[in-house]
Amino acid sequence: MRILLAAFLFALSFAPCSRADWAQSQFDAALADSEKCSAEIAAERAELRARIAALSKKISDAGADLAKLDESRAELLALSQKSAFFDSQGEAISAAAAKRLGADFGAVSLPRACARALSALDEFAASALNPLASKKATARRAKSGEVFEGETFRVGAFRYFYSKDASGALSDDGTLYMEEIAPQIADFIAGKSQELTADISGGKLLRESKKSRSFFADIASGGVWIYPILLFAAASLAAFAAKCISLFSVRRITGATAAGLSRAASEGDMRRAVEAAKKAGYPYAEMISAMAASGGMSAQSMEEAAYESMLGAGEKLFRWLSVLSVTAAVAPLFGLLGTVTGIIKTFADLSERGAEQAQHISEGIGEALITTEYGLAVAIPAFVAHAILSRRAKGIMADMEKLASTFVASRGK
């Protein structure tokens, strides 16, 4: 545009025609050129937009093709894994067939080899066409690991196991569960019933049976340190029962009884005071009787008699409570000791089996924590029981002190 303007000014100085007409013509020509350039730019812009849209579509198609390739790669990987599995099964079947027919066909006659092959085909046909036919099998309980020898049969897609010791559903890996349906299996085998409970939970019942726990299984897997915990539990339970009977059979002194004893002591009627104390029961009767026996003595003598009586009563009231306190303190320590021992054993097994056996690590640590669980389960109730019974015994001792003080004060009036 600057070049055109310079040419235009130069032409104005030399042109013989009218400068205004010439300038108008030049301006119109420049405007036409500008419009032409704008049209060309718009056309090129539209062409570029079309090319960009086409490239975007190609990129999108390439992304879709890449996703399909990823899916195909995953399918090929799954197929290769299945192929490897079937190859291994084929090798196992070939090995079993070779073992059954004879590792060296040259050592087996042709009629005998044919007979064995026909026998194997008959067994396969029997299992395929008659799934209710039973065959020998081994089952293992999920939690305890106890092994049973028996027979198994199929009803549709469900597999069952029965023996004289245990019966139930059987998983593909030989785990025995749903043992509560053992009576149904027995009736089904005997022909008394045609109904069997099936596991339609999608493996949930099997997982729950593997996670389920029983008391005896915990004892078996808890190790040697769980036995002291159980011993303390039995001792604390016996002490708690005995102390509940002895402490809660003692009636707390009432205000009316205390007032009656005070009146009898102030009137000097020791016989009536002793009779009122006997109605209150142990240990108040023994204390009042001892104080009444020293009624002719000084107040200090009666206090000493009351003190001796309270010492004897306190010894009986607090007897065996130390069993509960020791249990509350020692049971968690035995649990911790069992846990530490179990974890040490778990890591020792880990060094032999290898780090890839994560299942054994979790199972070992779970078993090691059983002692801690039982230790706390024994210690917490023992601690609470000790607090309740100690409060009861201290309350009885406080009643004795109040009654002795009232008796001495009334006797001195």
| 320 close to 246: Cβ distance less than 8 angstroms | no
Is pLDDT larger for residue 190 or for residue 88? 190
Last residue of a domain, one of 85, 117, 148: 85
Q: Is the pLDDT of residue 382 over 90?
A: yes
> Which residue matches tokens 């069993």?
323
| 287 close to 273: Cβ distance less than 8 angstroms | no
Is 170 exposed, middle or buried, given 0-12, 13-18 or 19+ CB atoms closer than 10 A?
buried
Count of CB atoms within 10 A of residue 224's CB? Answer: 10
Of all helices (H) and strands (E), which one includes residue 37? Answer: helix 19-101
The count of domains in the chain is 3
Residues 170 and 242 in one domain: no
Partners of 151 in the beta sheet? 136, 162
Question: Which pLDDT score is estimated for 147?
Answer: 83
Last residue of a domain, one of 212, 239, 267: 212
Residues 262 and 370 in one domain: yes
Q: Is residue 297 one of the residues assigned to a domain?
A: yes
Residues 13 and 161 in one domain: no
Residues 289 and 355 in one domain: yes
| 261 close to 273: Cβ distance less than 8 angstroms | yes
Residues 184 and 243 in one domain: no
Q: List for the chain the helix, strand, coil content (%; round to 5).
A: 75, 5, 20
Task: Choose the weakest-confidence range: 7-21, 175-189, 305-319.
Answer: 7-21
Q: Is residue 136 one of the residues assigned to a domain?
A: yes
The three-class DSSP label of residue 278 is: helix
Residues 236 and 309 in one domain: yes
Predicted structure pTM score: 0.51
pLDDT digits (tens, 9 = 90+) for 136-159: 888 887 666 678 888 888 876 688
Residues 6+ apart with CB under 8 A from 13: none
Q: Is the pLDDT of residue 106 over 50?
A: no
pLDDT digits (tens, 9 = 90+) for 207-260: 666 555 667 767 777 788 899 999 999 999 999 999 999 888 887 776 666 676
Strands (E), 295-404: none
Q: Is residue 110 one of the residues assigned to a domain?
A: no
Sign of CA dihedral 147, 153, 157, 158: negative
Residues 393 and 261 in one domain: yes
Range among 33-42, 212-221, 294-303, 372-381 with highest mean pLDDT value: 372-381
Q: Is residue 114 one of the residues assigned to a domain?
A: no
Q: Which two tokens stand for residue 118?
A: 């026909």
Residues 232 and 202 in one domain: no
Q: Is residue 20 one of the residues assigned to a domain?
A: yes
Question: Which pLDDT score is estimated for 410?
Answer: 67
Residues 6+ apart with CB under 8 A from 412: 299
Strands (E), 16-59: none
Q: Is residue 186 one of the residues assigned to a domain?
A: yes
Q: Is the pLDDT of residue 105 over 50?
A: no
Q: What is the 3-state secondary structure (H, E, C) of 104-147?
A: CHHHCCHHHHHHHHHHHHHHHHHHHHCCCCCEEEEEEECCCCCE
Last residue of a domain, one of 186, 212, 238: 212
Of all helices (H) and strands (E), which one includes residue 151? Answer: strand 147-155
Residues 235 and 378 in one domain: yes
Q: Which two tokens stand for residue 66?
A: 């890449």
Q: Is residue 203 one of the residues assigned to a domain?
A: yes
Residues 342 and 399 in one domain: yes
Q: Which two tokens stand for residue 285?
A: 């009767």
| 312 close to 282: Cβ distance less than 8 angstroms | no
Residues 255 and 376 in one domain: yes
Q: Is residue 117 one of the residues assigned to a domain?
A: no
What's the domain range around 249?
A: 228-411
pLDDT digits (tens, 9 = 90+) for 289-347: 777 766 555 677 777 888 888 888 888 889 999 999 999 999 999 999 988 888 888 77
Q: What is the Cα Rg of the chain in Å?
A: 49
Residue 321 CA: distances (Å) to CA of 240, 316, 343: 8, 10, 34
Residues 175 and 276 in one domain: no
Name the nearest CA neighbour of 151 among 139, 143, 251, 40. 139
